[in-house]
Amino acid sequence: MNFDSYTDLGMEAAAELVNRLTPGFDRGHPHPLPTAPLPRREKAASAEAAIWGAAGTISGADAESFFSLAQELREVFQSAADGDVERVAPLVNDLLRRYHAAPQLARHDGEGWHLHFHSQEKEAGRARARGATCAIALAIVIGSGGVGRLGVCRADRCDRVFVDTSRNGSRRFCSSSCLSRQKVAAFRTRKQNKMAGGSPLPIPGGTSTVPTFGVEMADPATPWRAG
């Protein structure tokens, strides 16, 4: 399943911001955030550069705005993963209002005129413009019945998020490593249970394929691609 190229980029950016700039666990390891001002600025600048190709330093205010945006986006992914559709829509509507996403025709990189969504408050900082892009992408996906495509990894000690682009919406983990970890854990549990005389336990996630950005999968579903 693929959306239009602009929505693809916005959804990928939203997931990457959450995964880079919110605390928790990542593939079995703690994922803390820095607390000192300079490391926080560097962390936010690194995330922006990795996602959008931006370069250079950012202000402390912009850095904190990126962290706040990432936490707000996590709430959307978590609510969607919990199946709380009635909470998802108001959260995204709030993002649209506060980030002032506005439609605008744009032309760049040899392309023809096409629709972009930018914040009307560009002077408010770089995080504001990025937030508008993420908010409108989420609105398009959720408004077209795609709320079930937003997920949070179900592996132990991992809470990274993902956008499920598999054909049948079967993805349950953020990466191939988390799928493998969970299968190994389930195998060990079944083995211990069998030795204890109990009944085998099913593998969490079944045989779900797990496409992910930048990760080669053993049995990939439709990969994320723009356009």
Digitized pLDDT (tens) for each residue of the chain, 227 residues in all: 556 677 888 999 999 999 999 999 999 999 999 999 999 999 999 999 999 987 778 999 999 999 999 999 999 999 999 999 899 999 999 999 998 887 778 777 787 887 766 665 555 568 888 898 899 999 999 999 999 999 999 999 999 999 999 888 889 999 999 999 888 876 677 777 777 765 555 555 554 443 433 333 333 343 333 33
Q: Bridge partners of 29?
A: 26
Say if residues 14 and 149 touch (Cβ distance below 8 Å).
no
Cα radius of gyration (the chain): 19
φ/ψ of 29, rounded to 5, equals -120, 145
For position 205, what pLDDT does the model report?
A: 54
Domain boundaries, the chain: 5-147
- Taken in order 191, 177, 165, 79, the sign of the CA dihedral is positive
pTM tops 0.75: yes
DSSP reduced 3-state for 103? strand
Tokens found for residue 51: 């996602």
**Right CATH for 5-147 from 1.10.3300.10, 1.10.3720.10, 2.40.10.10, 3.40.190.10:** 1.10.3300.10
Check residue 29 and give left, alpha or beta (phi > 0: left; psi -120 to 50: alpha): beta
